[in-house]
Structures are given as structure tokens and as C-alpha cells.
């Protein structure tokens, strides 16, 4: 039986290599904002063009306009829609947790957050009075 052990290990590694990447891995890297809206209003072009997002594991740095937000995020890809909770250690939401939803489609990452203290959004839209924030990001360079 021992002579088959290396074959089993190699087969296991090959299967693991073909397994789909987890969402944390899919999100790693640098992203640029391609569109966004807040409370039902589209973000200004210069704000969208300034948007950069860097993700490393469960840590993120977001630059939008004059604001920089640094913090951590937790994902739950098993929920429908997938959920994300962000807690910032720097920036306008410092010390607060934002509850949101996300999706990944190829090299596009879409996230919709509720304002602090508000219920998690259920759709990727913003409407006046909700305080929801929607950002669509594309992997930098693509």
C-alpha cells in the first residue's frame, strides 16, 4: 500500500490545482473603479477615475477622491447574494462596519454597501434615501 501513497498525493495536488480559486484569492490585486453611484446618484467622473482599490488577503486600501480607507473585510460566498462586511481602521468610516453584497464576474468586482448602521442591501442598486453605495471595479490594466 505504501508504494501508492506518492501517487495519491500527486493526484490530490492535481485536483487541488484545478479547484476554483476562493473569492479571497480572486480579489487579490489592484483594481480601478469604472462606475459607481451613491444614494441613487451616479458618482462624478473625476471621482470614478480617481478610484483605486488594493486587496491583499483580508486587507484593503481604497482611494476615492480625497478619501483613503484602510481596513479589513470578511466574505461569505455561500450566501445569496454573497456578503461582505468591511471594518475600516482609517478614513471616513474608521471604527465602523459596513455591510454589503458582492459579485465577481471575470475581471469585474461589484460591491454594494449600506451606510453604517443600516440594513445590508439585497440588490446591486442604489436609490435615493437608502444611503447605499455601489462601486464597480475592474482589475487594473484590463
Counted residue by residue, the chain has a size of: 142
**CA 72 to the chain's CA centroid:** 11
* pLDDT, position 65: 87
Instruction: Report the alpha-carbon angle 28-29-31, nearest 5.
Output: 115
pLDDT at 8 over 80: no
pTM of the model: 0.82
Q: How confident is the model at residue 6 (pLDDT cuts 50, 70, 90)?
A: very low
User: Higher pLDDT residue, 126 or 8?
Assistant: 126
**CA 98 to the chain's CA centroid:** 12
The class level of CATH for 22-139 reads mainly beta
CB 63 within 8 A of CB 52: yes
* pLDDT, position 21: 59
Q: How confident is the model at residue 140 (pLDDT cuts 50, 70, 90)?
A: confident
pLDDT at 63 over 70: yes
CB 23 within 8 A of CB 17: no
Q: What is the pLDDT of residues 12-52, one digit of tens each?
A: 333 333 334 599 999 999 999 999 999 999 999 999 999 99
Mean pLDDT, residues 52-70: 95
* pLDDT, position 9: 30
Q: What is the pLDDT of residues 66-121, one digit of tens each?
A: 899 999 999 999 999 999 999 999 999 999 999 999 999 999 999 999 999 899 99
CA distances from 109 to 6, 35, 118 (A): 39, 11, 22
Amino acid at each position: 500500500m505504501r508504494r501508492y501513497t506518492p501517487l495519491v498525493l500527486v493526484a490530490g495536488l492535481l485536483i487541488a490545482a484545478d479547484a476554483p480559486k476562493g473569492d479571497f484569492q480572486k480579489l487579490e490585486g489592484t483594481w480601478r473603479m469604472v462606475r459607481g453611484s451613491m444614494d441613487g446618484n451616479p458618482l462624478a467622473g473625476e471621482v470614478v477615475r480617481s478610484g483605486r482599490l488594493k486587496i491583499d488577503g483580508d486587507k484593503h486600501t481604497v482611494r476615492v477622491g480625497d478619501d483613503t480607507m484602510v481596513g479589513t473585510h470578511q466574505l461569505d460566498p455561500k450566501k445569496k447574494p454573497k456578503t461582505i462586511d468591511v471594518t475600516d481602521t482609517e478614513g471616513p468610516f474608521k471604527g465602523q462596519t459596513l455591510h454589503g453584497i458582492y459579485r465577481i464576474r471575470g475581471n469585474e468586482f461589484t460591491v454594494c454597501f449600506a451606510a453604517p448602521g443600516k440594513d445590508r442591501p439585497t440588490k446591486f442598486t442604489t436609490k435615493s434615501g437608502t444611503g447605499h453605495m455601489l462601486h464597480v471595479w475592474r482589475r487594473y490594466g484590463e
